[in-house]
Chains A and B, each alone.
Chain A
Amino acid sequence: MVFSSLIFLYVFLPLNLVLYFLCRNLNYRNIILVFFSLAFYAWGEPVWITLLIFSAAIDYVHGLIIEKNRGTWKAKAALISSLVLNLSLLGFFKYSDFLTQNVNILFGTNIPPSNFNLPIGISFYTFQTISYVIDVYRNETRAQTSFLKFMLFVSLFHQLVAGPIVRYSDIAREIEDRTVTVSGMYSGINRFVAGLGKKVLLANTAGEIAEPLLNGELGQLSVVGAWLGIILYAFQIYFDFSGYSDMAIGMGKMIGFHYKENFNYPYVSKTVTEFWRRWHISLGTFFRDYVYIPLGGNRRHHIRNLVIVWFLTGLWHGASWNFVIWGLFYGFIIILEKTLLSKVLKKIPAFVSHIYLLLIVNVAWVFFYFTDINKAIGYIGVMFGMGANGFCSVQDSMTLLNNGVFLIIAAIGCTPVIPALNNLLRTKTDNWKHRELVLDICRPAINVVLILLCTAFLVGRTYNPFLYFRF
């Protein structure tokens, strides 16, 4: 199931919340959450739900073994065994076809592909369980003794299929004990609706406009059209992904879970290093804490460590070389920034570094979008005038004009302008008598309008792709 579907919005979520609030006992509440999470997962993956439970069971047992044998070789053996099992499952289900393909090309063999469908969310939940086992091994958290509670951590539908990658230690306390508060509900609802709007109104629309530009005939595309296509894709992927994270964070707040932020207006960054501190934060910190720093961080083999981390970051996004190139491209730029460019970037005016960042990010998205590397290179060529159908074709100028208002709204949505306006409004109205009341009436009104508008958009389309199923 996906959050941006009518059945989730009008059947699954209200039913889940109502049952949750009707129960006062935390244990029952946990049972409800796990049950709904499994139903949520089964909706899209009726078969691979067994894999999810199996994977959770493995890590649950390993966590207990490590806890019991802390400090002995057995703990280490259990950690290694858990890592091997987790990565094998991920490797088998996500990367085996990619591997056999490459082996076939390299050695001229003819190993048939397994043709498994990638189980939804496997990259997310595998990383969550890996982080759990490592944290238990490092004694940063206690092992969970209740399988139900452990399942709750692994399978909670808020973040099961599209992140954020929640660390067990971050919510360990809330798994044991959490409270529903009015202000938590209030801000959770606001957050959820904002995320829904980002996904349905902005991401889906951007995708619809981008599709013919990205998928059309390359020879027909003008320079403006190529940039327009990739910028729309940049909008789509940001609003899609961050919208999902917002919805997850919002739903967590409603029932007393506090997940960490996953996005922090990445497109306003000035450097690529900064961009990656603001983009998919939970993934960045995962690789930092479990790969980069254990490898030696910036003290030993700095460059090597960066290359490994960015290779893996790319590969995590999909079992295809274009994702690896995408990751290594970022790795390369970050190494440049840390060495040659560091002084330059400090000196140049802010707007130049903004342009620099956006240029890099948009070129990188081309590699993210096209699995066919030749096509990606051709597309980048058109962006810079090579093989382009002029600077701006009639059709592309019409597309630009026909979507001008949307582009402006989307661009504003990528910046912290709206929260800034919101704060300004609050400080300006500080001494109003009925300020809180007025604000608390406006907000629900905005939410209801947004929900109805999203409903209209969801009803009005058959096109509702969920990009993150590939991960």
Chain B
Amino acid sequence: MKSKYINIILFFACLIGIGLVNIFIGDKLVSEYENRTLEQFPGFSAQALFSGEYFRKVDLYFSDQFLFRDSFVQISSAVKELKGFPGSDGATIIVQGEFNDAEEHGFMPEPGEPFEEMPVEPYDRNEDEITPEPSGDPGLTPAPETRDSGETEITPVPSAGPEPDPGQEPGTEPGADSTEKTEPTPAPAEKPDPTPAPASEKNDNGKRIGKILIWNNSAMQLFKAYTDAEVYYADTLNKFREKAGEQVKVYSLLAPTSIEFVDNEKYRSLSDSQKEAITRVNERFDGVIPVDAYSRLEEHKDEYIYFRTDHHWTALGAYYAYTAFADACGFEAVPLDRYETETIEDYVGSMYDMTSSSVLKKNPDTITVYKPFVKNEYNVWYEGPVKLKVIDMYHATQKNKYRVFISGDRPLGVIKTEIQNGKKILVIKDSYGNAMVPFLLPHYEEIYVVDPRQYGKNIFKLIEDNGIQEVLFLNYALIVGDKNFANLIIKVMEQ
């Protein structure tokens, strides 16, 4: 009888102990592990109380700030990996249904979301290039915080010299003063890199189901063709070309993803053909020039052209796509051996974040970067210009190492090169574009890079103001699986 007390005491010790510690530990702003903002204790309002929103947020807050949260998350995914029989080849399909928090945490902004609400500061809370501050004066409010003081012109003046406009806060080199940095205000914390949502199919309930195949130490998003969205994308680009006028050449490069070239017919059949989808889109183009990156990548499918733990292509894959683009434009591609390279080891990318698969964690990727040999100046524009590097090795030491390519997704980036040929190109891209843009440097005097997920200005004004002659839509093929991306393009056309 007495020994029954053990059960009772342990039960209470467990609940009360963990409960008390949870109440007294401090709150965190960000989960590094999950790469997202953590819920903070909600502010009180009568309206939130009556709608039930207040208590819902307290619930979220409590679980987000839970003691040893990361370890508990890891334990649960480790235990969940035991739920199947170890298959002969270890292939698994992981479903990212409505229970993935991609949408909630801003992987894909809703079409039409106003720019003002887009997270600007949060992108690099721990990195310093966005909050430019003279290193000797850490007390100054950084530029992005002053956005309510009036709209600053985002479109750079074409004639702007290498020196930043004196009226703007000068940008600092990433990481240059990171040690002495104090956070000016607790910014709303880091948002994840807006990675495209996984291949999704909208079912009758409007829920998105994305599937990821893990096989052979490699995670691949499955593609679900949706012809309505293909037509919609092609028509959007057609309309774009029409509005941009005859003097602007419009190219479209849709990059197939890794599942397309998986070396197993059975698993290949799990995903709809991207080749057919790309062909359908290209056939519908009217005046838009398609770039056939597909065949070029297919020729090299046995090389390391896709990451295994990340949904992106490697710089090598991007290079082959670039050669296809060179062919379409009629200029000669720079041979790869012209570039000096550098490698970054131990990259565990987005697919691990989405699946928590231990296989991926155990088999990290290597990133090879090809260093530009063309002198250039790269400015990213938020309220004002922030000077960055086209290959930004600062990110090699961070979690999201794919950001070494043009320093990640930005609303607008402007690269001015020493090439004085007067050629100006605008690249409208998702994150696939990041790895390919550096290869364009030898061919253009000015390269404008727009991410429609973040850009909030009229795109035609940008083209007009800067005398851009070429536009390249550079995205991965999965964006024609739904209408979201096309809607974003429409948004920047209509701003």
Q: Given A436-B3, A448-B14, are A460 and B99 neighbors across the interface (CB < 8 Å)?
A: no
Contacts of B269 in A (CB 8 A): 394
Contacts of A14 in B (CB 8 A): 12, 15-16, 19
Whether B91 lies near A13 (C-beta < 8 A) is no
A10 at the interface (CB under 8 A from B): yes
Whether A401 lies near B85 (C-beta < 8 A) is yes
Whether B204 lies near A398 (C-beta < 8 A) is no
A-B pairs with beta carbons under 8 A, tally: 175
B461 at the interface (CB under 8 A from A): no
B302 at the interface (CB under 8 A from A): no
| A 436-471 binary contact with B (CB < 8 Å = 1; else 0) | 110011011001100111011111111100000000
Complex Cα distance A187/B82, Å?
30
| B 98-116 binary contact with A (CB < 8 Å = 1; else 0) | 1111001000000000000
Chain B interface, DSSP helix/strand/loop, else mixed: helix
A395 at the interface (CB under 8 A from B): yes
Least Cβ–Cβ distance between A254 and chain B, in angstroms: 9
| B 206-245 binary contact with A (CB < 8 Å = 1; else 0) | 0101010000000000000000000000000000000000
Whether A406 lies near B84 (C-beta < 8 A) is yes
Whether A460 lies near B270 (C-beta < 8 A) is no
Whether B62 lies near A11 (C-beta < 8 A) is yes
Whether A216 lies near B209 (C-beta < 8 A) is yes
Contacts of B396 in A (CB 8 A): none
Least Cβ–Cβ distance between B68 and chain A, in angstroms: 8
Complex Cα distance A447/B15, Å?
12
Least Cβ–Cβ distance between A372 and chain B, in angstroms: 7
Contacts of A6 in B (CB 8 A): 59, 62-63, 66
A421 at the interface (CB under 8 A from B): no
B25 at the interface (CB under 8 A from A): no
B76 at the interface (CB under 8 A from A): yes
Whether B95 lies near A10 (C-beta < 8 A) is no
Complex Cα distance A436/B50, Å?
51
Whether A462 lies near B85 (C-beta < 8 A) is no
Contact of A459 among B66, B207, B267 (CB under 8 A): B66
Contacts of B16 in A (CB 8 A): 14, 18
Complex Cα distance A15/B187, Å?
34
- Interface segment out of the listed A44-52, A96-104, A342-350: A44-52
A26 at the interface (CB under 8 A from B): no
| A 17-60 binary contact with B (CB < 8 Å = 1; else 0) | 11000000000000000000000001111110000000000000
Q: Given A18-B16, A205-B83, A440-B3, are A394 and B270 neighbors across the interface (CB < 8 Å)?
A: yes
Complex Cα distance A266/B11, Å?
30
Which B residues, 7 to 27, have Cβ-Cβ distances below 8 Å to chain A?
Answer: 7-8, 10-12, 14-16, 18-19, 22-23
Complex Cα distance A398/B85, Å?
10
A416 at the interface (CB under 8 A from B): no
Complex Cα distance A402/B359, Å?
14
Contacts of B266 in A (CB 8 A): 394
Interface extent on B, as a size class?
A: 35 or more
Whether A402 lies near B83 (C-beta < 8 A) is yes
Q: Given A11-B19, A44-B55, A47-B50, are A189 and B11 neighbors across the interface (CB < 8 Å)?
A: yes
B54 — nearest CB in chain A belongs to which residue?
A: A46
Q: Given A46-B55, A215-B207, are A398 and B4 neighbors across the interface (CB < 8 Å)?
A: no
Whether A43 lies near B85 (C-beta < 8 A) is no
Whether B4 lies near A183 (C-beta < 8 A) is yes
B356 — nearest CB in chain A belongs to which residue?
A: A460
B72 at the interface (CB under 8 A from A): yes
Contacts of A47 in B (CB 8 A): 50, 52
List 27 A-B pairs, Cβ < 8 Å: A5-B63, A6-B62, A10-B62, A18-B12, A44-B52, A46-B51, A47-B50, A185-B4, A186-B8, A212-B95, A395-B93, A398-B92, A402-B87, A440-B7, A447-B7, A447-B11, A448-B10, A448-B14, A455-B66, A455-B72, A456-B73, A457-B79, A459-B66, A459-B73, A460-B76, A462-B100, A463-B99
Given contacts A215-B204, A461-B99, 8 further A-B contacts (CB under 8 A): A14-B16, A398-B87, A405-B84, A440-B3, A455-B66, A456-B72, A456-B73, A459-B76
Instruction: Give the top 9 A-B pairs by smallest Cβ distance, nearest first.
Output: A463-B99, A460-B76, A440-B3, A10-B19, A406-B83, A459-B72, A402-B84, A456-B75, A444-B7
Q: Which residues of A contact B (CB under 8 A)?
A: 1, 5-7, 9-11, 13-15, 17-18, 42-47, 182-183, 185-186, 189-190, 193, 205, 208, 211-212, 215-217, 372, 375, 394-395, 398-399, 401-406, 436-437, 440-441, 443-444, 447-448, 451-453, 455-463
